[in-house]
Amino acid sequence: MRGFLVSSIGVATAAALALPVVLPTPALAETSPVTPAGSTQSLPLVPLGPSADRTPGVPGTSASPRLPETQGLAAREVKTFSLVGVVWDDVATQLHGRVQVRTRSVKTSTWSGWQDVEIHNSEHAADPDAAERVSGRVRGATAPLWVGESDGVEIRVQAEAGTPPTRTPSRLPTGMRIELVDPGAEVPGAGGDGKNGGPAGDDKGELVAPGLTMEMAEASAANLPHAELGSNEIVALDKADSTADAIYASEGELSAAAAPFIGPRPRIVTRKGWGADESLREKGFVYTNTVKAAFVHHSASGNNYACKDAPAVLRSLYRYHVLSSGWRDFGYNFAVDKCGTVYEGRAGGVSKAVLGAHTMGFNTDSMGVAVLGTYTSTAPPAAAVDAVARLTAWKLGLFGRDPRAKTTLRSGGGNLYAKGTNVKMNVISGHRDGFATECPGKKLYGKLPTTRTTSAKLQGRP
């Protein structure tokens, strides 16, 4: 076991109303075993018939073929969850319509109002020809919505109404189901204290390091030498000390010209720090050649979370990306919460060029940063914007990139540009620069010019 551990780590290092009646409890299809690290309930949607007492503003239905098709679920009790999303069978099929949910709070036993779920139709995803995309596991999916601890749900999905001259409405995708994600308290065995399910172990039930499974050790080892094995965070460094990070990232080939322009490393909460269940993701890591650009996103999961809840939000997004959407791992390379805390996203090493699944067609040689929340009409907190500038000043600096400059990326297809097209973009771009999407939201996108300036200043550029 000890020899196997040393070998594995070496490879990883190198590479509003109270419920009026008792609601029915459906038979639940679990997409993974229920563990203290979280669970996912997957419930198929069904056609909804006409209703004489439809709530104003809630999509309705009719038997007429010229009226929009509607599917959903009536209000019901379910196991506790905190995040919702809708998935369907064919990732290539677009959902054209409106998705609305309302949920019942565990704490207050009251129902929320109807909330819209953003339909992003998989523009946050692996490139069309990537192994991750063609694995056969990937599904179409909406954005996830954080609703807080809830035990009741109702959902309606209405297809887009028809337009002249035919006025034939859109059809909904097949196999639609709602995913109800419980983030769990933490990964069993995290911290090595035997709580939350007992000691963690590998497939033989043995610990490979105090409090670490083999998968946890693999993910943690990818961040050596920035942090010790099993660390919950990577500490901040001043600008002078961050040069060593660049030498490691470039495997000793850092140019003298690039060295002065590296921003100070921000504090980064590791995957272990936010409680990632490493048994969910695919084993191993996938890298690209370099990092030429940073794409800024918002998670579109809503702003109804406290900063102390951010690790739970991340665990929920992670489960939704892997188990519900079928991706190999968390989609973004980094996440930032509303208080400005930076989190490690996809596994493989924070200073490495890890291939993500965040900007379809432009994942190669780029990194994705998601600000947790929805910033279409809400201004992002200053702390979050500042954290994006600090993170990009450091990470782009490791690869000699000027945040104010332009760079050229080759499109992998599936976006605004044909496959193989060379596209000139800002080194710090918004998701909408490469895809027809509102992401990262109008209000966050408007902060990118000052983000570029601040990031370059932190690098020490004139």
Q: Is 90 exceeded by the pLDDT of residue 454?
A: yes
Spatial separation of the C-alpha atoms in residues 345 and 356, rounded to whole Å = 9
Query: Over 112-146, what HEC string results?
Result: CCCEEECCCCCCCCCCCCCCCCCCCCCCEECCCEE
**ω into 165 cis (within 30 of 0):** yes
Spatial separation of the C-alpha atoms in residues 215 and 232, rounded to whole Å = 15
Q: Where are the domains of the chain?
A: 29-52+63-182, 214-458
Least confident of 180-194, 337-351, 383-397, 440-454: 180-194
Cα-to-chain-centroid distance, residue 436: 19
Q: What is the mean pLDDT of the chain?
A: 83
**ω into 440 cis (within 30 of 0):** yes
Spatial separation of the C-alpha atoms in residues 221 and 427, rounded to whole Å = 29
Spatial separation of the C-alpha atoms in residues 394 and 397, rounded to whole Å = 5
Identify which of 69, 85, 101 has the alpha carbon closest to the alpha carbon of residue 172: 69
Spatial separation of the C-alpha atoms in residues 249 and 286, rounded to whole Å = 15
Q: What percent of the chain has pLDDT over 70?
A: 76
Instruction: Compute the C-alpha angle 300/327/390, nearest 5°.
Output: 50
Q: Write out pLDDT tens, residues 244-300.
A: 776 666 555 555 555 679 999 999 999 999 999 999 999 999 999 999 999 999 999
Q: Is 80 exceeded by the pLDDT of residue 443?
A: yes
Residue 242 is given by DSSP the state T
Q: Where are the beta strands (DSSP E) in 186-289?
A: 233-234, 268-269
* All residues at 6 or more sequence positions from 108 whose CB lies less than 8 Å from its CB, including other chains: none
Identify which of 363, 310, 305, 306 has the alpha carbon closest to the alpha carbon of residue 332: 363
* All residues at 6 or more sequence positions from 28 whose CB lies less than 8 Å from its CB, including other chains: 41, 42, 43, 78, 79
Identify which of 235, 224, 289, 272 has the alpha carbon closest to the alpha carbon of residue 8: 224
The structure's pTM equals 0.85
Q: Write out pLDDT tens, residues 89-133.
A: 998 888 999 999 999 999 999 999 999 999 875 556 666 677 777
Spatial separation of the C-alpha atoms in residues 229 and 207, rounded to whole Å = 14
Q: Write out pLDDT tens, residues 105-116.
A: 999 999 999 999
Identify which of 143, 116, 59 has the alpha carbon closest to the alpha carbon of residue 317: 143
233-234 and 268-269 strand pairing:
antiparallel
Cα distance between the two ends of the chain? 53
Residue 435: the pLDDT is 78
Q: Is 70 exceeded by the pLDDT of residue 157?
A: yes
- Asked if 264 and 236 touch (Cβ cutoff 8 Å), the reply is yes
Residue 349: the pLDDT is 97
Of the options 3.40.80.10, 3.30.70.20, 3.50.50.60, 3.20.20.70, the CATH number for the domain spanning 214-458: 3.40.80.10
Radius of gyration of the chain (CA): 22
Q: What are phi and psi of 61, to 5 degrees?
A: -140, 170
Tally of CB atoms within 10 A around 136: 7
Residue 8: the pLDDT is 40
Residue 53: the pLDDT is 39
Q: Write out pLDDT tens, residues 390-428.
A: 999 999 999 999 999 999 999 887 777 888 899 999 999
Give strand pairing partners of 145: 84
